[in-house]
């Protein structure tokens, strides 16, 4: 059983959480998030916080317990403070810019790559850094992963798109005899 799920999750002052028909709805100053509940997980709002508990003692219920506790914790954090990811680009001629709800990437291909920015996310492009922020942790992480997948960092020169703080293992390359 998850140790983090045993304790009640504190509800911030700005956030409001409701559970109806197994659906979790969290409302805060940044936005509103809704998630479907799990058939083996019971979620209840108590005065000391949100308590997540298993409905049965099966392995599946124990596995889903910690996951749903993290989902509720992330939803409460997202609607109050939000989440952000920062991406860095390295390479000659590699650049990006935001125009409206479109992210334009120049990554050395024969054509420019255009990506639609999902609803609820804000993207700020600087010279070599891209900051993706929003109140839904899953949406922020997925869009950052999709952008990174356009040009993953290669191990010889380190060119490509990487997360801030990500370390690229470099390879030596060919030796001239």
CATH number at residue 44: 3.90.930.12
Expressed as residue numbers, the domain containing 126 is 83-163
Closest CA to 6 of 73, 75, 65, 74: 65
Within a domain: 171: no
Count: domains in the chain: 2
> What's the mean per-residue pLDDT of the chain?
92
- Tally the residues of the chain: 177
Listed in order, strand segments (DSSP E) in the chain are 16-20, 23-27, 32-36, 41-46, 49-54, 83-90, 95-99, 102-106, 113-116, 121-125, 129-134, 160-163
Query: Position of tokens 């998630």?
Result: 35
Q: What is the per-residue pLDDT for 177?
A: 65
Q: Where is the domain boundary, 29, 59, 80?
A: 80
Do residue 41 and residue 99 come from a single domain?
no
Do both 12 and 76 map to the same domain?
yes
92 and 155 in a single domain? The answer is yes
Comparing C-alpha atoms, which of 76, 79, 78 is closest to residue 28? 79
In the chain, the percentage of residues whose pLDDT exceeds 70 is: 99
User: What is the average pLDDT across 130-153?
Assistant: 96
For 54-74, write each residue's pLDDT tens digit: 999 999 998 899 999 999 999
Regarding whether 159 and 87 lie in a shared domain, the answer is yes
pLDDT tens-digit readout, 84-103: 999 999 989 899 999 999 99
**Is residue 1 predicted with pLDDT exceeding 80?**
no
Question: Cβ distance 142 to 134 under 8 Å?
Answer: no
pLDDT digits (tens, 9 = 90+) for 155-164: 999 899 999 9
Residue 14 near residue 29, CB atoms below 8 Å? yes
């Amino acid at each position: 059983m998850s140790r983090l799920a045993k304790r009640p999750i504190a509800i911030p002052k700005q956030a409001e959480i409701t559970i109806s028909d197994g659906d979790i709805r969290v409302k805060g100053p940044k936005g509103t998030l809704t998630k479907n509940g799990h058939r083996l997980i019971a979620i209840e709002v108590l005065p000391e916080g949100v308590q997540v508990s298993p409905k049965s003692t099966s392995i599946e219920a124990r596995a889903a317990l910690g996951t749903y506790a993290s989902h509720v914790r992330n939803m409460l954090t997202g609607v109050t403070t939000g989440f952000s990811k920062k991406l860095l680009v390295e390479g000659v001629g590699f650049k990006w810019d935001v125009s409206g709800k479109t992210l334009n990437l120049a990554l050395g291909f024969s054509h420019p790559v255009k990506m639609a920015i999902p609803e609820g996310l804000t993207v700020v492009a600087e010279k070599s850094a891209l900051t993706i922020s929003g109140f839904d942790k899953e949406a922020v992480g997925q869009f950052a992963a999709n952008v990174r997948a356009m040009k993953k960092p290669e191990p010889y020169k380190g060119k490509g798109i990487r997360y801030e703080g990500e370390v690229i293992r470099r390879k030596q390359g060919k030796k001239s005899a």
